[in-house]
Structure 1
Amino acid sequence: MQTEKSGIFWAIGAYLIWGLMPMYWKSLEHVASAEILVGRIVWAFVLTLIVVLLIKNGHHFKNDIKILWSSQRDFWSLFFASVLVSSNWFIYIWAVNHNFIVQTSLGYYINPLISVLLGVFFLKEKLAKAQQIAFVLATIGVIILTVSYGEFPWLAFTLAITFAVYGLIKKQIKLDPLRGLTIETLFIVPVAVIYYIWLFKDGHAAFLHIDLKTDILLILTGAATALPLVMYAKAVQKIPLYMAGFLQYIAPTMMLFIGVVIYDETFGKIDLLSFAFIWSALLLFTVSKVIEAIKSKGTQEA
């Protein structure tokens, strides 16, 4: 139970940070989405590698790579996970900076439902009756939101599927979260560096060519990327995937609020109806978990 509590703490922390990220990417909307992405990859790798070395985990880092290579399934699974999360980053940044924040929130509302299904079908996780009802309510809410959007939201579904599958892979590979993220970015950083070199040679790089504020924001994308991902990796190793999925509704709710209130994107009566279903599901799920925790504690004390 203590392990699950710490997992919930890490998950909530990660989702709170992700919920605020649209405002960060908006501050960089004058920079091309592709450059923001390669900046995220390069600086996240640099930051995590420095931290790994500072805490004297360099030897463990080398061993992690050797162990991964000895298990080709895990090695290529993690490589695929790094490709998935990089794709997710690019789509998300592009969507935010092209005024699709509400659709990104839809993507991250759909994502937990996919996570629940992946957990049930691939990891044989069990849902209690109340959690099954919560899943159905959330599904209805997402369907209403999708239909009201007027066309099939490919952007939202791509975001949802890439991150849900990423979470499933991370759940099954037992790596230290910090070192695991360092290895993930190591897979992609050569491509990112080559692209950055091309940007500088072609004269299209924003980094070091606009102003100090832009340079600092681009460098800090490393921390903005690494911190919530490490927290998320810690969470999914300690809690069931379905729980991580439902807690994830924190982030898109914040994204939706930011999109509607701060950046004036539309939110009508149909949207309110769909969110009523989703929020009801969250309430039911939360109450069921609290009751379950109380019963579990009572059994242990007895």
Structure 2
Amino acid sequence: MGEKIGRMENRKLGMATGMTAYTLWGLLGLFWKLLSVVPALDTLAYRIIWSLVVIVIVVTFQKNWGQTVKIVIELIKNRKIYWIILSAYLITINWFIYIYMVTHNQATEASLGYYIMPLMNVAIAVFFLHEKLSRSKLIALVLVLMGVSILTIQTGTLPITTLLMAGSFCLYGLIKKQVQLPATVSITLETLFVAPVAIIYLLISPHVMTQNGTEVTVLLIVSGIITVIPLLLFAVATKNTDFITLGFIQYLNPTIQLLTAIFFMGETFDMHKAIVFAFIWLGILVFVFGNILTYHKARN
């Protein structure tokens, strides 16, 4: 009985932390919009530096440096450290594209990227992990491709930034799946590997952190906290929540992004965009429904 109650409590914790993490990620667009006066590359560099400061404080508070050093030595021995370095730069690319899109009035397109992302994960799993493609996933992928094709025809160009943002995170997730690390260790290493580049860039950049006033300076410092907290919450969620539940919760992020883009950032959502999103949403419905059927079959 006690074991069952413990599982229920863990599930509640997983649900709560998962929903909080995805909600915070969904609201991040509003935060980056406040930093529109700062060049996107500078914002990214400050985000990396202050994220490193925050995670160093967290690891020190947890007295976790011994475990971190041991894991790094093991990664070097089995040559998996190169994958961690690659993952660090992939997540950095994802961060930069998202910041750039939000600060250049493309938050709607950014939300589209996060809607596409789960289905892009399926495509990557098929090509790189040789997983079988079910009928529902195939239909979902076709619908998403139709949506992207319509967007390409409407704009006259392929939505490169949207696809790059989704693709960089998908490849990042693929590496994380192959080389699994504790959350604090993973964040520490990822920020540590890109921090030197961020520091060099800030040293040669004409922008100064304090030049736009106290409010912007404080926001740049806070960017480290708002980066690390959702990642730590998500790590707790993945340990205490089943895959199907997280599969539902993940759509909170792009939905909140889309709503904030329309109602708080003044971006338009015309008929052309509605048609594109309709195909994407239909693909997601098919994808989710297929996952539910697979989940129930597995349980039975």
Tell me the TM-score normalised to structure 1 length.
0.83
Write the distance in 2 (CA, Å) between the matches of 1:275 and 1:97: 22
- What are structure 2's unaligned runs of at least 5 residues? 1-6
2:136 to 122, 127, 130: 130
Aligned partner of residue 152 in structure 1, secondary structure? coil
Query: 5 Å matches for 1:1-302?
Result: 12-72=19-79, 74-199=80-205, 204-205=207-208, 207-232=209-234, 248-294=250-296, 296-297=298-299, 299=300
Paired letter, 2:270: G
Maintained 8 Å contact 2:37/2:212:
no
When residues 13 and 128 of structure 1 are mapped into structure 2, their CA distance, relative to the original with a 3 A threshold, is farther
CA RMSD in angstroms, aligned pairs only: 3.2
Identical aligned residues as a percent? 36
Maintained 8 Å contact 2:244/2:291:
no
Shift of 1:181: 0.9
Paired letter, 1:259: A
Paired letter, 2:54: L
Paired letter, 2:164: T
Paired letter, 1:262: F
Maintained 8 Å contact 1:39/1:218:
yes
Write the distance in 2 (CA, Å) between the matches of 1:215 and 1:294: 50
Write the distance in 2 (CA, Å) between the matches of 1:238 and 1:271: 36
Write the distance in 2 (CA, Å) between the matches of 1:13 and 1:129: 33
Aligned partner of residue 265 in structure 1, secondary structure? coil
- Once structures 1 and 2 are overlaid, which stretch shifts more, 63-72 or 223-232? 223-232
Write the distance in 2 (CA, Å) between the matches of 1:118 and 1:235: 23
Shift of 1:277: 2.6
* Number of corresponding residues: 292
Write the distance in 2 (CA, Å) between the matches of 1:208 and 1:150: 40
Tell me the TM-score normalised to structure 2 length.
0.83
Shift of 1:150: 2.9
Write the distance in 1 (CA, Å) between the matches of 2:287 and 2:158: 28
Write the distance in 1 (CA, Å) between the matches of 2:131 and 2:239: 14
Write the distance in 2 (CA, Å) between the matches of 1:150 and 1:237: 43
Shift of 1:292: 4.4
Maintained 8 Å contact 2:122/2:137:
no
Deviations 1:82-109 (A, max 9, x none): 1111122122212211212222223333
- Once structures 1 and 2 are overlaid, which stretch shifts more, 4-13 or 25-34? 4-13
Write the distance in 1 (CA, Å) between the matches of 2:215 and 2:153: 41
Maintained 8 Å contact 2:32/2:102:
yes
